[in-house]
Amino acid sequence: MIRIQVLGAAGGVTGSCYLVETSRARVLVDFGQFQGPDARGGSNAVLPPALDRINAVVLTHAHLDHSGRLPVLCKNGYRGEIFATAATSDLTDAVLADAAAIQEQDTDAENRRRMRAGLEPLVPLFTRADAECIRARMKDCGYYRQIPVAEGVSVLYREAGHILGATSVEMTVSDGGETKKIVFSGDIGPRGVPILRDPDPPESCDLAFLESTYGDREHPPAQAAIDALIRIVRETIFNKQRVLIPAFAIGRTQMLLYYLGEAVRHGKLPASTPVFLDSPAAMRATMVYRKHEELFDGEAAKLAKTGTFEQSLKNFRIVETATESRSLNESWDPCVIIAGSGMCEGGRIVHHLRHNIWRRGTALVLVGYMGEGTLGRKLGDGAKQVYIFNDPIAVRADVFKLDGFSAHAGRAELIAWPEKLARSRPRIVLTHGDNGPRASLAAGLKERYGIDAELPMRGDVLTLA
C-alpha cells in the first residue's frame, strides 16, 4: 500500500510538502515555508514524521513556499539527497541565502526588543550557514529522464512553465508487486509567456495533485499590462523623471527586463533608456537565468545565442554594492530602477521610495501581489502619506498597479491541464490554493471531466492500494 500524507499547502498556498511512504521507502516532495496566516503556531519549525527514516527529497521548484524549509531538514540531521533540476538547484541557493539573511536580521531586531523586555532571545529558523549546507545535498537532474530516488521510487521531471527550472513531477512507485503513478503538478505557469516553455502535463496516472492558486479566476490579458508598462516608462523618462519598480526577484524581474528589451527591439522605447537592477537576490536569479539558457523558449532562446535578452537596453546596469545603490540617489537623472523587495518591506527599494515618491512626476509601478499591511499595499491603496524609517513621506508620485504578469495559470488553463490525464480516470486532489479557489476549480473539473476532486486538509493521509 502506498500512503501519501499532505503536510502543507492544503486549504492555503504556502508550506508545500507531501510525504510518500511504501513498505520500502519514504520520500518527501517539497518542504516549503508557511507564510502569512499559515505560519501561525510555529508551523515552520514542525519536522516531517520520522525524519531519520526519510530516504530522499524531491523538489518541484525553487520558490520559498516549496524550498524554504530545506535547511531545517539538514539542520536536524537529514543526510539524504535532494533531487531537483539544475536550474532549480541554482535558484534554490539564491532563494535560501536571501531568506536566511532576512531571518537573521529579523531575529536580531526582535532579540534587541526581547532583551530590553527581559525575555529569552529567539533563534532564527535557520542561518546562512544552514542554508549553505543544502548545496552539498542537492542532486542536479535533467528534465524528461527516469531518475531513481529511493527503493522502488523514481521520478520524471516535466516542464511546468512557472519559473525557470520549475517542474511537474511524475512519480512511479512500486510496492508489494504493484506499480502506481502519482503526479505532483507543482506550480503551473500560464501558456505563451516569454522566456519559459509552456507547461507540459503528463498523460496518465493513478492520482494527481493539482495546484489551485487561481482556481476561481482569470488574469487580465498580459498584453494590456505590457503596453501600460512601456507607455509609463517612455513618458516618465521623456519628462525627465524616474520609474521605480519593486522587484520580485525570481521570474517577474527577468520577465520585465525581457519586455523592456523587446520594446526597444520593436521601436517602442529608446535603446538609451537607463535601467538599473538594484536587488542582490534578483541579480543572482538573473545570473541563473543566463546560465540556463538551454531551457529558454522561442525568441528568448534565439536572443540568448547572440547575447542576453537585456542587451537591447544599451544602458542596462546591475547595481552591485550598497554604496552604488545609494549613489543612484545623489542625482535626479531620469532612469528606471528595479529594486528589491517586491512588497517594499525592506531591501533597497525602500531607500529609493524615500528619495523619490514625494516628487511629482515619479512613477511607481506595482507588478505583483502586495500582502496585507505591507508598504507596497499602502502605496497601492492610494495612501497620501507613508512612514519610511519613521519619517513621514508625502506620496506625490503616480502609483500604477499592473496585473497580468502572473506566474500562475488562470482558471481555464488549470481546468485544461489534466485533459490528457483525465482519460486514465485518476483521482484528482486539489492543493496549493485557498478554499474558495479550490472549491471553484473542483466544480470546473467536475463539469469538464465528471471527476470529483478531493480537497484534503493539512495532515490528511491518502492511500493507494
Residues that bind Zn ion (CB under 5 A): 63, 65, 187
Q: List Cβ neighbours of 237 (8 Å cut-off, separation of 6 or more).
A: 243, 270, 273, 274, 334, 335, 336
User: Cα–Cα distance between 315 and 284 in angstroms, integer?
Assistant: 19
- Pick the closer one to Zn ion by CB: 12 or 347: 12
Using the minimum distance from each CB to Zn ion, give the nearer residue, 63 or 411. Answer: 63
Q: How far is the CB of 308 from Zn ion (least distance, A)?
A: 24
**Residue 61 beta carbon to Zn ion: minimum distance, rounded to whole angstroms:** 6
Task: Give the nearer residue to Zn ion in terms of CB position, either 160 or 232.
Answer: 160
Measured from the CB atom, the residue of 63 and 355 that comes closer to Zn ion is: 63
Q: Which is nearer to Zn ion, 65 or 310 (CB)?
A: 65
Smallest distance from Zn ion to CB 201, Å: 17
Find the helix packing angle between 252-265 and 222-238, rounded to 10°: 70
The CA angle 247-250-254, to the nearest 5 degrees, is: 75
Report the nearest approach of Zn ion to the CB of residue 81 (Å).
22
Min dist. Cβ of residue 68 to Zn ion (A): 10
As measured in angstroms, the least distance from the Cβ of 161 to Zn ion is 11
Q: Which is nearer to Zn ion, 21 or 65 (CB)?
A: 65
Angle separating helix axes 252-265 and 298-306, nearest 10 degrees:
70
* Residues 381/366, Cβ–Cβ less than 8 Å: no
Nearer to Zn ion, 152 or 199 (CB): 199
How do beta strands 275-278 and 316-318 pair?
parallel
Beta carbon nearer to Zn ion, 241 or 254: 254
Give the nearest distance from C-beta 35 to Zn ion in angstroms. 10
Q: Is residue 445 within 8 Å of 418, Cβ to Cβ?
A: yes
CA angle 146, 70, 8 (to 5 degrees): 85
Shortest distance (Å) from residue 62 CB to Zn ion: 8
